[in-house]
Structure 1
Amino acid sequence: MSEALSSRKAPNQCETLAVKLRLPVTMAQPPSLDTSFGQTSSPNVSLSAYEMSSGSDGSYPFTGKVVGYDYEFVPPVDGRYECTICFGVLREPRQTPCGHRFCRDCILKWLRQPQHRCPVDNEHLSDSMLFPDNFAKREIDNFTAKCPNSKQGCDVIETVKRMPSHLKECPLAFVPCPNNCASVLIRRDLADHMHEHCQNRLVHCPDCGQQGKAADFEEHVQSCPHGKVKCEHCGEEVARREIERHRKDFCQKTNIPCMFQALGCEVQVQRDQLDKHIRESLTPHLSMLCQGMVAIMQRIGINRLSTEGVPLSARELTPTEISGFMSSLVQPLQQLSLETRQPQGAPGDSRSLDSSSVVKTSVSMHRSPSDPKYSMLISSGTQEASGFSHTSGASDYGVKMAPASLVGPVSGVESESLKSLHHDEMLVRHKQSLLELQAKTETLERNLKQKMKQYDQQISELEGKMCNGQYYWRIRNYSRYQREAEHGQTTALHSHPFYTSPYGYKLCIRANLNGVDSAKGSHLSLFIHFMQGENDDLLEWPFNGRIVLSVKDQNECCELRNHVAETLSSKPNLAAFQRPTTPRNHKGFGYMEFLPLNVLRNSSYIRNDTLIIKAHVLPNG
């Protein structure tokens, strides 16, 4: 319940009408309600006060003006049918006891002022003393006038009573686009606009079939995964989602490394030229392969291979010959095992290599150097060979000695166990290091977020101080917040704080997008709240001045813009204007019924899903 109405037990008819005319009232900040959808019903509020403009200029509908008819009447209307407040032809005429006639909304708004007197002869007057002038209303309804869209070419002359019906169908009337694109155009051009030019019309992507807005179509075309793009190397058209795979595995013009890169060949050629490079570089490739084989033999302790059975001709080796050549390495490895183990045991207790080691070595020697598993197997074989220990120093190839604490030879199983333990220890250390690093990273990230939040608050505070009492609040994603308000999830939004001057009062705007109390579901509600500021002890309290709240019309055509604005005058006896005792005063001052929701929808007040609210604070003194 608002502060202005909390002391009223039974409001009279005048007070009820004043609320409907957006009379400023003080509102307490409502609690956040979690109401399920469908449990609340929106009040059925008449929007007769916001019917379409009747101006002869064919202005945009829903201007929010409540004045008399300003049609171009044919013939001209006698002056006795004009309202002396708005100077238009009487709309819903009301007559006073002193014999004067006014528009219903004009005289009711006049009587909201403290003095309750007739604006013509200054006689005492109240809303209860007014009565409808049905005789004048019947006469005015039969007056004929030109269509307000006559400047656009409409030559229809219609009675006042039937004019609203004509305006709903007039082909030359200005209407907003039903797709909410903020365009205002003549009704006869609406169909062509919606099908060909509207940025919010739905279009289908020919590549993926998805549906979206025309405004986003160009951006979608640039990123559609099914769209065709040209490979920059070969010029072939490929689906965007396949282009990387095409470059990596199929493009014939992409540069790829030679298959002998691991052996030292640094040449990169196009994929379709790789076979030619292999044929032309046979000699250097064989040299690289030979050097790699010698390095492997030295690593595992083989001085020289047996030439028995090895073909010496320069012809290309067959797979069978290569297999036999690589298998010849097995016998030298076995001999190496006998030489390294016999000095450690009793005579005749020589141990040959485990069959598994021989098999591993044989398999590794049969692999191609380009096979990734080749280097792994050679490394494994090297580690196994390093487990053998020599007692004589005659060998030219150093082999790792067994630990001194072990008595006797170290078997292959024991060596593998030691390696496994060492590997596990290294894994634990790495895991611990990763956990410590992760904890430090999380702490730094937390501190960074706190600092960024502080900086954002300081920047927002500085921006609020520099606005000098004129603050524009852009409510982006309006449709989402409106739905949340209808479902009871987010009933109220608050703007960032702003100041009347760098050392002035601190305030914020509160918007209830779905209304509050009697205006819930029918009107936009706007209020102003005072907040605790840095200089409150230097300011005069209670606040004394005026506050202008307005909703900005964002029509592209400046001549058609019609901002809705209301002025609030401070009332020192209300808690809303006292010095705040909490960070934000829970009492606010404003309008429950600032603007009907039906006026906001499908109008230029909402553009790019953004509502703009302006607050202009004018302190006295």
Structure 2
Amino acid sequence: MSGHNTLAQESSITDNFSGPESRFECPICLAWLRDPVLTTCGHRFCRSCMELWLEKENPSCPIDNTKLQKGVDIFPDNFTRREISQQKTKCPNIAKGCLEELSPLDVETHLVVCKYRPPELPENEKLRCTFVEFGCEEKFEDEPELQRHVDQQIQKHLMLLSRAYSRFTISSQSGASTSAIAQEANFWDPPSKNEVAVPSNDNLNGLLKALYEKVVLLEQKTREQDIIIANMSEQISSLNLSMTKMHLRYCNGCYLWYFNEFKNKINSMRNDSRIMHYSPGFYTSANGYRLCIRLNLSPKDPNYVAILIHVMKTEHDHALDWPFSGRLTITLIHPTQTFRNIKETMMTRPELEAFRRPVQEMNPKGFGYTEFALIEELFSQGYTDNNQLLIKVQAQPV
């Protein structure tokens, strides 16, 4: 029985120290978020990691390359800080008898006072960072601690290695071409994805190989994430399209048409009076009539916009009563002052061709107002919001 408990406990320890969830992981140091901050483009980082990153020339987000300014585009993420503080993990010294459960952010502080911590080694016996020759002065008590440092401080080691390589290139008197090193890296066969190599050589080539391996692993992980994101984006687009179609069918004859780029489209119609804009087709009920809105310049006076309604074909026209009979209300919505809304209501006229059963996708004849509103007033009285005009149509069959 005790054997089972031990195995289960060891499995739990492995789970606890396999790393934080992706939402709690800093993309730069790949460790738990410390003093988390949120960028204006929506990504989380440790404050210290992000401030160091933004000291580069032309700083941008490491995730999507959005331009960022230190002190302007990063903000404290107190919500994530609270979430992390509520997470619980075991003390790394659990195998030695420590049963403390604490927040991941308190682990380092606890290890300093943990009574089960291993005795501190003399300075001359501590393990040095693999990148000590390139400027990393960190020292460690054991191999796991060293390995965690190597895994979490990739950005720091990359900077140290870059500086050392620059000095090496400038001071080299041997005449050896740096392309030879690049060629060796290109033809070096990296290990499988699940293997993790720790640089064992002290020379530059060994370190470059280890660095190349980490880059390959990160590229593989990035590629996998890109594929997942692409698939999710495709699913979301498909879902959005389905939702749009459902909205058009189940709007019960009340449709809001957001007419975008209003000014540009007005100018285009002034240059070519044949240009007309149509809304998507919407239904009076799930199995009712299908209508659409048309907007163009008035053929009588191009200083006015014309708004008309067209009857469209459906797959169930044979089950509907023709000609279409009902009440149509067109409202031009003012974004801030509802008393300025322009609203007109009209009853259909069965004798007109516009309301007969369509024989093609849309009846060529529409019904409405050829001089609905003066264009100049739409601009001067603020009917457009972000260059967008909102038109509401309510269709009620009777």
TM-score (norm 1): 0.30
Q: TM-score normalised to the size of structure 2?
A: 0.45
**Which protein has greater RCO, CA pairs closer than 8 Å, 6+ apart?**
1
